[in-house]
């Protein structure tokens, strides 16, 4: 499988890819660029915000639940109107949102982190039917949030710890029991970033600094890797009409200007056709 360029715009910190199943449209974020990006055919689309924005889930055909550095808000793609759903560490100017994804029960998990990656500055939360509850803290760099297709377990990572964790969930999607290590990447010195699962329950993980997305079986066995022409792959998502296209955001963060000039793929967004089918992203219940 080979990756091709999906969108040439450069993101300082590309993240939060989302295929909207009702609109059949792909969205993603440039966190520190404070913008949401998409396409209408060959036409690039952008929405700009006054603060960092990082992840989203769909709440309706024309609305997204967006996580920013201070709140979760319902955003209308047509009118640009936004309504605050919940405050998110709004009293802490040193943190911002990072990785997030909807769960099969209709909730939304979102992680935070220090704006300069400060140790133990962040946490992971879940929003569900009006309640925002902290699940894990402290977290340095929240990432890899995704779910088994049947909603029986969640996955998440603190990139700084080098491990992807797995957490059993109850019928309403809340953690039950204690998390276990799903994949320990410390031996290979890999840094787990964003993840997504496919319909078979395999986990696809973007690995910061490794120029790749790796596919792991439900038991944690490495199945394959896909190379991308960017140093910092940040988050994958399945999309396309048959959900077989693997999109991947990338970042320019921490890369020297001379390298960026020589390697234009850094910060761009890519797509690879796979032999795997993803699952439609769940609708968040507000």
Could you tell me the end-to-end alpha-carbon distance of the chain, in angstroms, rounded to an integer? Answer: 38
> Which residues neighbour 17 within 8 Å (Cβ) at sequence distance 6 or greater?
26, 27, 28, 194, 235, 236, 237, 239, 247, 248, 249, 269
User: Token match 């400060």: residue?
Assistant: 118
Cβ 196 vs Cβ 216: under 8 Å:
no
- Residue 2 token pair: 């080979």
Angle 204-208-209 (CA atoms, 0-180°, nearest 5)?
A: 130
Residue 163: how many CA atoms within 13 Å on its side-chain side?
Answer: 10
Query: Which residues are designated catalytic?
Result: 193
* Spatial distance between the Cα atoms of 41 and 220, rounded to a whole number of angstroms: 37
* Spatial distance between the Cα atoms of 5 and 130, rounded to a whole number of angstroms: 39
Q: Are strands 232-239 and 3-7 parallel, antiparallel or unpaired?
A: unpaired
């Amino acid at each position: 499988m080979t990756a091709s360029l999906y969108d040439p715009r450069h993101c300082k910190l590309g993240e939060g890819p989302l295929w909207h199943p009702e609109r059949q449209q792909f969205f993603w974020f440039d966190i520190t660029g404070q913008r949401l990006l998409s396409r209408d055919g060959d036409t690039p689309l952008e929405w700009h915000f006054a603060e960092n924005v990082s992840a989203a889930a769909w709440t309706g055909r024309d609305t997204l639940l967006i996580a920013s550095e201070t709140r979760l808000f319902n955003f209308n793609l047509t009118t640009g109107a936004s309504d605050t759903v919940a405050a998110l560490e709004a009293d802490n100017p040193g943190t911002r949102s990072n990785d997030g994804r909807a769960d099969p029960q209709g909730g939304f998990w979102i992680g935070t982190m220090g704006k300069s990656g400060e140790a133990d500055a962040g946490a992971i939360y879940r929003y569900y039917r009006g309640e925002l509850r902290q699940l894990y803290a402290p977290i340095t760099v929240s990432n890899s949030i995704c779910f088994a297709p049947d909603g029986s377990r969640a996955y998440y990572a603190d990139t700084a710890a080098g491990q992807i964790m797995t957490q059993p969930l109850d019928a309403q999607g809340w953690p039950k029991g204690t998390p276990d290590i799903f994949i320990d990447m410390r031996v290979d010195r890999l840094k787990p970033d964003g993840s997504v699962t496919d319909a078979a329950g395999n986990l696809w993980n973007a690995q910061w600094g490794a120029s790749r997305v790796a596919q792991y079986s439900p038991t944690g066995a490495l199945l394959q890797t896909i190379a991308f022409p960017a140093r910092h792959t940040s988050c994958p998502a399945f999309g396309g009409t048959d959900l077989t296209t693997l999109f991947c955001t990338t970042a320019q963060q921490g890369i020297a200007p001379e390298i960026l000039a020589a390697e234009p793929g850094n910060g761009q967004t890519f797509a690879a056709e796979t032999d795997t089918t993803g699952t439609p992203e769940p609708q968040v219940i507000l």
